[in-house]
Structure 1
Amino acid sequence: MTRGLSGTSAAGTQAGAPAGPGSLAGITVVDLSRVLGGPYATQILGDHGARVLKIEPPQGDETRGWGPPFYRDDIAWYYAGVNRNKEVRTLDLRSDEGRDALRGLLAEADVLVENFKPGTLEKWNLGYDVLSVEFPRLVHCSVTGFGEDGPLGGMPGYDAVAQAMSGLMSVNGTPETGPTRIGMPAVDMITGLNAVNGIMMALWERNASGRGQRVETTLFDCALSVMHPHMPNLFGTGKPAARTGNDHPNIAPYSTYATGDGDLFIAVGNDRQFARLCERIEARELVEDARFATNADRTAHREALRAALEAAMASFEAVALGEALMADGVPAGPILDSAQAAAHPHTRHRGMIVEMEDGYRGVASPVKMSRTPAAYRIAPGSDR
């Protein structure tokens, strides 16, 4: 049984939506993945009604020990964050008995998700070439670092390494800090999202063909795919992107700006919003300044623009100004820490924190569905 924090009901569903099976009810997923990308993908599927059987080796998913903090004696909050709505089973796939038991589960499954190093399942005679014959309707999703072939094929992949090698790290930070890792495992989680996309496309296609297929997502590919607008800018100019801190490379003003009592992020996307910003901070003269007439002009003179804006905003408070700008149709907001974000009234209103009776708290599904909402049925680490 779960209970929600203001936006979720006693059944752990989206506020105002009827309880019941999710949109993926009837789909069974065998989850052989561990750490983050694969488990994040299977938690999404589980939140929306799929039955997820999480298969762990005898020693467990290594992230059980990635604490403190610990959710339970043997489960770190790291593990808990991506492993709800799963039935945990233990199998030793290095043994004949474990592999036979897995085949028994796959016979009733729709989807297999795994993130073994390429060649591992083949060594156990469980590779896609074998399983696709034994279970022709099975959708086999593989999450790896670099894929199984090519110059880096089979190499181990980690989020930060993918950030480094895709260019993501090179555009994060400032000239003073040097290349900087994004402060959360963006590549792992993007890869998990793409795994879900691929699985859903394969299940949809199976309705017509009656056949499963292999879905592959890699950290390297997914990291490259989100290098926007830096890759398009490279293709257009031939020059690699520089580190610009919080400044947007193509838009101004689009950055963090100092006010009288703290920083405020302002994201102006067009001339109309710029005019409204200047009106709100009583700096109407900036609209008439030729240096700031268009976005191209403002980008070319971004440092002069910053100085003028911050001088005008020195008499304003960040939170109040942000709220006023948002009401004016100008995207803006104060920089919150994780605790402030979790406690924000809009977080509560959107039902984005879910609680379970054993002390589990987690970020709820961001996908809101009117008839088949997400539901939170099984606490992380539960054996069923």
Structure 2
Amino acid sequence: MLARLSSRALGRRSLCGSLSSLPSRFDGAWLSSHAAASADGSLPLEGYKVLDMTRVLAGPYCTQILGDLGAEVIKIEHPVRGDDTRAWGPPYAKYKPDSDQQGPGESAYFLGVNRNKKSLGLSFQDPAGVEILHKLAATCDILVENYIPGALKKYGMDYDTIHKINPGLIYASITGYGQTGPYSQRAGYDVMVEAEFGLMHITGNRDGPPVKVGVAVTDLTTGLYTSNSIMAALLARAKTGRGQHIDAALSDCQTATLANIASSCLISGEKDTGRWGTAHPSIVPYKSFETKDGDILFGGGNDRLFGILCDGLGRPEWKDDPKFKINAQRVAHRNELEAKIEDITKTKTTQEWLETFEGKGLPYAAVNDVLATLTHEHTKARNMVVEVEHEQCGPLKLVNSPVKYSETKPRIRSPPPTLGQHTDEILKEHLGFSDKQIQNLREKGVVR
């Protein structure tokens, strides 16, 4: 889902008048300092600072990628509630008996997309909180936000205003429908965008209703597109010396990822062919089949692979059957062939079929649940699940960064933070606040 903080959360008035006193972040020497920061083989984005004004999934997923690559990510959270997903449980990682935190623990949802970040608990309802945001924006390289278009303007946090303060800032806006267009003021949630922009229509069983994908895939692809765009904008800044505004919309990213299905409709001028479940509209057999204890998926992508499948199923005669010999005929006789295959696959367990086709060259796979995926031998071999030590919860297992680098290696440097865990550190180290100033802000409820 993509959620946005309300405009009321930003405060009751703009502090634009105080912005002129803030220093510009950009100057010529600054570029070389960042280049030097990663010249020794350290993480690619080490030395870059991100002001993360997002919550829930698309934005946090984007900024987590930046954090994995070495950026310092300052996550702005409501000082009482924090990110919405902190309350999205169970399950929770329970606090240790000696923890100073209260409640059921840290939610699994929040833990999944907020590693390598620092949490600043900050009230947007107080002008002093907005002033802190202005000062942080003046010192950051990247700002990522997911507010309704236009909501930040009257608080002096819109791109035009921040660009004057910090011309080198990369300012990324993640919204449901973008900064322009007839839907730009709509709230943008993943499932709504899946529905309106084609994905749900092509997802689900052939004769069943449209369904959403099992994870919020539109949020995730938008987060990926945005992180990629931010890094491209950093490269552009190295050439031009200027930052820019990135307008990332779930609706646009969803449309882009319709990929070959969209291309087919554009070229043919016809509607898509609807839902196919695990099957393929142009290849047979290419779907999951029931086994004695689960499901297995076969990919007979060409006639040679179909022959391997026939041999493995004990039906070599199908290779010369006129109804099945070539793919076009198999497509024409889809229902008959798929039924025959499933009659056979039901006679053995999934593991028995995996062993039958091991090393034969046929694409095949068990249909695993998520826990089986996380404990899969290949998942372990690729180091995709790692254990980190959380100060309040103890050892936690998290999904690792997926891409392997030969030199600069993304890693989990810090576990997901507790709410306001780094407030003092950020205010002191980045803004030069004294203990007394921080205590005064805390007593007023401005910070946590």
**TM-score normalised according to structure 2 size:** 0.78
Paired residue type of 2:85: T
1:161 counterpart residue number? 192
Matched residue of 1:273: which SS? Answer: helix
> 1:278-293 residue pairs with structure 2 within 5 A?
278-293=310-325
Q: Within 1, Cα distance between the matches of 2:202 and 2:67?
A: 35
Q: Note the C-alpha offset of 1:194.
A: 0.6
Distance in 2 between the 1:299 and 1:306 partners?
10
1:22 maps to what in 2? 43
The residue aligned with 2:352 is 320
Equivalent residue number for residue 379 of structure 1: 415
1:64 partnered with 2:86: yes
Instruction: Show CA shifts across 1:317-370 (max 9, x none).
Output: 322323443521211111111111111111111100111122322110111111
Compute the displacement of 1:175 (Å): 4.7
The verdict on how the C-alpha distance between 1:243 and 1:371 changes in structure 2, with shifts beyond 3 A counting, is: same
Distance 1:24 1:268, change over 3 A: farther
Deviations 1:265-319 (A, max 9, x none): 1122222222222222222222212222333332222112202322343444322
Once structures 1 and 2 are overlaid, which stretch shifts more, 371-380 or 279-288?
279-288
Structure showing greater radius of gyration is: 2
What one-letter code is carried by the residue in structure 2 that aligns with 1:300? A
Once the two structures are overlaid, the 10-residue window that deviates more, 346-355 or 268-277, is: 268-277
Residue 292 of structure 1 aligns to a residue whose secondary structure is coil
Residues 164-221 of structure 1: CA distance to partner in whole angstroms, max 9, x if unpaired? 1111111111254311111111111111111111111111111111111111211111
Aligned to 1:248: 280
CA distance in 2, matches of 1:67, 1:312: 42
Go from structure 1 to structure 2 and tell me whether the alpha carbon gap of 1:300 and 1:102 turns closer, same or farther (over 3 Å shift): same
Q: Which amino acid aligns with 1:299?
A: V
Determine the structure 1 residue equivalent to 2:438.
none
Could you tell me how far apart the structure 2 residues matched to 1:147 and 1:202 are? 18
Is residue 367 of structure 1 aligned with residue 388 of structure 2? Answer: no
The answer for the alignment partner of 1:132 in structure 2 is 163
What is the CA–CA distance in structure 2 between the aligned matches of 1:170 and 1:213, rounded to whole Å?
A: 35
**Percent identity of equivalent pairs:** 39
The amino acid that maps onto 1:98 is G
Are 2:179 and 2:247, in contact at CA under 8 Å, matched by a contact in 1? no
Equivalent-residue separation in structure 2 for 1:21 and 1:177 (angstroms):
50
- Answer yes or no: is 1:99 the counterpart of 2:120: no
CA distance in 1, matches of 2:41, 2:416: 21
Determine helix, strand or coil for the equivalent of 1:251: coil
Superposed CA RMSD in Å reads 1.9
Q: Which structure exhibits the higher relative contact order, with contacts defined as CA atoms closer than 8 Å and separated by 6 or more residues?
A: 1
Partner of 1:79: 110
Corresponding position of 2:212: 181
Contact (CA 8 Å) 2:116, 2:416: kept in 1 or not? yes
SS, match of residue 264 in structure 1: strand
Contact 1:233/1:241 (8 A) holds in 2: no
Aligned to 1:224: 255
Tell me which of 337, 342, 357 is aligned to 1:310. Answer: 342
Determine if contact 1:319/1:333 at 8 Å carries over to the other structure: no
Taking a change above 3 Å as real, the CA distance of residues 149 and 97 of structure 1, as seen in their structure-2 partners, is same
Q: Does 1:271 align with 2:292?
A: no
Q: Distance in 1 between matches of 2:356 and 2:48?
A: 47
Query: Are the counterparts in 2 of residues 30 and 111 from structure 1 also a CA contact under 8 Å?
Result: yes
Q: Which amino acid aligns with 2:382?
A: R
CA distance in structure 2 between the aligned counterparts of 1:129 and 1:112, rounded to whole angstroms: 13
The 8 Å contact of residues 26 and 50 in structure 1, kept in 2 or not, is answered as yes
CA distance in 2, matches of 1:370, 1:317: 40
User: Are residue 209 (structure 1) and residue 231 (structure 2) matched?
Assistant: no
Gaps of 5+ in 1: 1-18
- The answer for the alignment partner of 1:11 in structure 2 is none
Q: Normalized against structure 1, the TM-score is what?
A: 0.90
Q: Residues 136-151 of structure 1 correspond to what in structure 2 (within 5 A)? A: 136-151=167-182
**Pairwise CA distance, 1:103:** 2.2
Correspondence for 1:111 among 142, 148, 155: 142
The equivalent residue for 2:64 is: 43
Bigger Cα displacement from structure 2, 167-176 vs 121-130: 167-176
SS of equivalent residue, structure 2 residue 152: helix
1:30 and 1:112 in contact (8 A); partners too: yes
Cα distance between partner residues in 2 of 1:259 and 1:336 = 13
More divergent stretch after superposition (24-33 vs 279-288): 279-288
Separation in structure 2 between the aligned mates of residue 175 and residue 275 of structure 1, nearest angstrom? 26
Query: Which stretches of structure 1, 4 residues or longer, exceed 6 Å deviation after superposition?
Result: none
Q: CA deviation at 1:57?
A: 2.1
Matched-pair contact (CA < 8 Å) for 1:174–1:243: yes
Pairing 1:121–2:152 present: yes
Q: How far 1:49 sits from its partner (Å)?
A: 1.0
Query: Separation in 2 of the partners of 1:320 and 1:212?
Result: 57
Q: Deviations over 1:216-244 (max 9, x none)?
A: 21111111122243322323251233222
Q: Is the 8 A contact 1:323 1:333 kept in 2?
A: no
Q: Is the 8 A contact 2:61 2:220 kept in 1?
A: yes
Indicate how the Cα distance of structure 1 residues 194 and 239 shifts in structure 2: closer, same or farther if over 3 A, else same.
same
Equivalent position SS for 2:338: helix
Q: Answer whether contact 1:36 1:189 (CA < 8 A) is retained.
A: yes
Pick closer, same or farther for the CA change 1:246–1:108 going to 2, 3 Å: same
CA distance in 2, matches of 1:130, 1:290: 70
